[in-house]
Structure 1
Amino acid sequence: MSSSTTWTVTGMTCEHCVASVTEEVGEIAGVTGVQVDLSSGSVVVTSDQPVSREDVSAAVDEAGYQLV
């Protein structure tokens, strides 16, 4: 059963930002999909099992942005 969680990321200003966040979050074990909405800053993470806030935060930090 897949789960979907929505997070908010600050600091994204362009499509390159979206691509960076999508790539880093997509590398988390179990993640099957990442949808980033630049205008709202929302990041929807779909995964095989729930993904921890710590994992998402670390991936977003690695991309150069901040999880709210």
Structure 2
Amino acid sequence: MTTIQFQVSGMTCGHCEMSVREEVQEVPGVTGVEVSHQTGELTVASAEPVDEAAVVAAVEEAGYQAARSA
């Protein structure tokens, strides 16, 4: 299993988390999504490497900004 972490800006509530989770779950290969508006962290799990640009695009589709965590 592979996990990738991102920082997401602009989330303020549980509804924000749900919006991000729903969009990111649609990215091909994603098997799990954990997101917290309190920390701004997004963790994406997959069996194989996932296209990071597709994850960022999914977060943007939900209305937020994302960047890969260092």
Deviations 1:40-66 (A, max 9, x none): 100000011111221111000100000
Unaligned runs of 5+ in 2: none
Structure 1 segment 5-44 matched on structure 2, within 5 A: 5-44=4-43
Deviations 1:1-58 (A, max 9, x none): x101111100001111000000000110110000001111000000111112211110
Name the structure 2 match of 1:65.
64
Question: Which 4+ residue blocks in structure 1 deviate beyond 4 angstroms?
Answer: none
TM-score, with structure 1 as normaliser:
0.92
The size of the alignment, in residue pairs, is 67
Q: Distance in 2 between matches of 1:8 and 1:16?
A: 17
Name the structure 1 match of 2:53.
54
Amino acid at match of 1:50: P
Amino acid at match of 2:40: G
Q: Distance in 1 between matches of 2:65 and 2:49?
A: 20
C-alpha root-mean-square deviation of aligned residues, in Å?
0.8
Q: Distance in 1 between matches of 2:45 and 2:55?
A: 12
TM-score, with structure 2 as normaliser:
0.90
